[in-house]
Amino acid sequence: MDIIRNCLLPFQRVTLADLDKVKLMNRTDLKFCLHIEKLPAVLEAIKSDYLLLEIKGETIFTYDNTYFDTAENTMFICHQNGKSNRFKIRMRKYVESNLNFLEIKLKNNKGRTIKERVIKQEFIPEFTDSELIFLDKISPFDGLRLEPKIKNHFSRFTMVNNLFTERVTVDIAPKFQNSENEITLDNLVIIEIKQSKSSDPAMITRVLQTLKIRKQGFSKYCVGRSLLEENIKKNNFKRLLLKIRKEYLN
């Protein structure tokens, strides 16, 4: 991680208040997966065009997630089957700031990601009465029928372009854990580019394409469960899983 921190030193910084100008809770997303050895070249190419989030002197932050699904794995199966209007429900903890949220993400049939969230007082896999109301209002799922399926842990830094029209997150070494197994993809970096409109390609997208890094659909929830569970349906993820095991596992 020290190598990555050194690569981030040339970037000008922005505050969390600055980043609020580009929350992008309704957006289009593009994801790219790459080996961590390729990340320094990407950062070198974009250091004059993007600003880096800094909070209390830190630029790389830790995230913990717990994902929920029904007993029948409805949300996982919708994603595996390529359904439109699919949901993800998770708890997220921003470790350094000790902030927790309950989040609902909808990927609609127009390819847009819409996120709603509420503050969660405790990072425990149970829902309060107000959280059950939130789930009932925003999603088609009854919170009383949801159960925790997988835990996810990773490090992230966040950038915004100079025009404040794009937000870029860079996730490093995601770890997945359930009650029986755990796996860490030490060499994997996931770059996600978030824009309110997709008509103008992000500058970082052009850099990644120049480096022959292609866009790649990647759901931490689905990939994590597919890696950890033998008996879950994952036909549509097989090519990605083969690539992950070949390139990103030590």
CA 16/CA 12 separation, integer angstroms: 14
Report whether 218 contacts 211 (CB < 8 A).
no
Tokens encoding 223: 């990939």
188-195 and 99-107 strand pairing: unpaired
User: Which residue would you say has higher pLDDT here, 111 or 72?
Assistant: 72
pLDDT at site 197: 66
Query: Chain-wide mean pLDDT for the chain?
Result: 92
Domains and CATH numbers, the chain: 2-247 (2.40.320.10)
pLDDT at site 227: 96
Mean pLDDT, residues 56-85 taken together: 95
What is the residue whose two structure tokens read 């990103």?
248
| Neighbour tally for 231: CB within 10 Å | 5
CA 72/CA 150 separation, integer angstroms: 15
CA 104/CA 20 separation, integer angstroms: 19
**CA separation (Å) from 166 to 20, 27, 185, 203, 214?**
12, 10, 27, 9, 19
CB proximity list for 134: less than 8 A, separation 6 or greater: 102, 104, 116, 118
Tokens encoding 33: 């997966």
pLDDT per residue over 180-236, tens digit each? 999 999 999 999 998 876 557 788 999 999 999 999 989 999 999 999 999 999 999
User: Which residue would you say has higher pLDDT here, 220 or 19?
Assistant: 220
β-sheet bridge partners, residue 150: 67
pLDDT at site 25: 54
β-sheet bridge partners, residue 205: none
pLDDT at site 165: 84
Position 117 pLDDT exceeds 90: yes
26 — pLDDT class (breaks 50, 70, 90): low
pLDDT at site 28: 76
Model-level pTM? Answer: 0.93
99-107 and 86-94 strand pairing: antiparallel
139 — pLDDT class (breaks 50, 70, 90): very high
pLDDT at site 108: 87
29 — pLDDT class (breaks 50, 70, 90): confident
pLDDT at site 24: 57
pLDDT at site 249: 82
157 — pLDDT class (breaks 50, 70, 90): very high
pLDDT at site 218: 92
Mean pLDDT, residues 127-147 taken together: 97
pLDDT at site 164: 86
Report whether 106 contacts 114 (CB < 8 A).
yes
